[in-house]
Amino acid sequence: MCLAIDGGPDELNAIFQQWQAKGVTILREPHDAGFGPTFLAADPDGNRIRVAPQD
């Protein structure tokens, strides 16, 4: 699943910090994946959630 957010890298980093502070499982920290900044998290069932800016 991909969560497409409004905003750019600053918004992505803010969401990353919020999720990390709440104890969300982070599978990969923010990085540039070629299509832009992204990070990868997991929900309590282990489903992967990619967070990236909307095109």
Q: Which domains does the chain have, with CATH numbers?
A: 2-53 (3.10.180.10)
Q: pTM of the predicted model, to two decimals?
A: 0.90
Per DSSP bridges, beta strands 25-32 and 37-42 are: antiparallel
Q: What is the pLDDT of residue 19?
A: 98
Mean pLDDT of the chain: 95
Residue 50: name the closest of 21, 23, 15, 18 by CA: 15
Q: Residue 7's Cα: distance from chain center in Å?
A: 13
Q: What is the pLDDT of residue 25?
A: 98
